[in-house]
Structure 1
């Protein structure tokens, strides 16, 4: 049986949602539960023994025109350049922890690129994948909780999310 086909319910809700989304997509790798919380890209890289760039970090913004959530998945060693992102989204502002939780269903440090909780207004975040992730064969993303991660290739990330791949990092 495919390891990702089994969904455990003895973990936090966010982790279970990501686990179910990966199983439904027939993703070949089930999420892993780390013994330590990895709230930052560096903590995740250290826990996994991989380079910082292999961590697919989630950065959430709030679009100023309508307060829609914008989620960018980029390499842990890069910073998002809001000026490069603005042509795709419009003007952006910072998203605080309460906003991130309300719009994604995940707490900061565990925001996954899939498995979002149904938001009160039923709108999903606008999602973008940064092209810098394609420097790596294997990347790791948060799986709905600071202790949860899952692996994939950058191409699998784009396919799983349906997100456009764009250049949005600082030079």
Structure 2
């Protein structure tokens, strides 16, 4: 890692935890530390030299019936269709930064698809399957890891659904 910040601080601990979890689950690609933060799909794509669609962005919603976190993992070039998500999991609302941090253990911009503080209701956007290689956040805005669509499905055990707005 090319960062001078101590790995003992909380954000770096989240990156380290995702690194350990991926290793425990036999994932073949260790997370990478980017020299610049990538809080958006476009920033991540630019830093990695890939298309924005290859970024598996994690979008968190709040389920209204029970306050559960709902994680939608979608392609960076697509927008979540909240009505489609609600049809699958129940009424949802926006989640603020405090809710995201409390439920996932991650700050917005670094929400990994795995290793949450409280297991979210998770859906994977079927449109991500169009890429052989995708990249996801690894617990910190500077942390990412490479995976395939099949890896994402295996690591999250989440259903695949049409959860994005039509093009």
* TM-score grouping bracket, smaller chain normalisation: over 0.9
Q: What are the within-5 Å matches in structure 2 for residues 123-134 of structure 1?
A: 123-134=118-129
Count of matched residue positions in the alignment of Structure 1 and Structure 2: 158
Describe the superposition over 1:129-152 as per-residue Cα deviations: whole angstroms up to 9, x where unpaired: 100100100000000000000000
Take 2:140 and 2:67, find their aligned partners in 1: how far apart are those partners?
24
Conservation of the 8 A alpha-carbon contact between 1:39 and 1:109? yes
Q: Secondary structure at the match of 2:123?
A: strand
Q: What are the within-5 Å matches in structure 2 for residues 94-133 of structure 1?
A: 94-117=94-117, 123-133=118-128
Give the drift of 1:116: 1.6
Give ranges in structure 1 of 5+ residues lacking alignment. 1-8, 118-122
- 1:10 corresponding residue in structure 2: 7
Matched, 1:77 2:72: no
Conservation of the 8 A alpha-carbon contact between 1:15 and 1:145? yes
Take 1:25 and 1:10, find their aligned partners in 2: how far apart are those partners?
22
- 2:93 corresponding residue in structure 1: 93
Give the drift of 1:38: 0.2
C-alpha root-mean-square deviation of aligned residues, in Å? 1.1
Describe the superposition over 1:59-79 as per-residue Cα deviations: whole angstroms up to 9, x where unpaired: 000001111000000000000
Give ranges in structure 2 of 5+ residues lacking alignment. 1-5
- 2:66 corresponding residue in structure 1: 66
Conservation of the 8 A alpha-carbon contact between 1:68 and 1:126? yes
Matched, 1:151 2:110: no
TM-score norm. by structure 1 comes to 0.90
Matched, 1:32 2:32: yes
- 1:167 corresponding residue in structure 2: 162
